[in-house]
Structure 1
Amino acid sequence: MSDPQQPQVPPYAQPQHPASGRYSQPAPHPQGYVLNGNSAQPGYPVPVANGNPPGRIGFIFGLIGIAVGLVANLATNILIYSGGYYAVEASSWVSTLFVLAIAGLALGFGIAGLRRPNAPHGQAGIAVGIGLAMIVGSVGSVVINAVGATLFRYF
Structure 2
Amino acid sequence: MKATLPVVVAVAASLGAAIAPLHAQSLRPALDFATADAIRDHCLAAADRAGYTVAVAVFDAGGDLVSFGKDRTSPAAGAVAQWKGRSAAIYGYSTAQTATWNIPAAPMISTAQGGVPIFTTDGQDLGGVGVSGAPSEFDEACGTAAVQAAGLRVTRP
TM bracket (short chain) = under 0.3
| Greater share of residues in strand | 2
In the superposition, the TM-score normalised over structure 2's length comes to 0.26
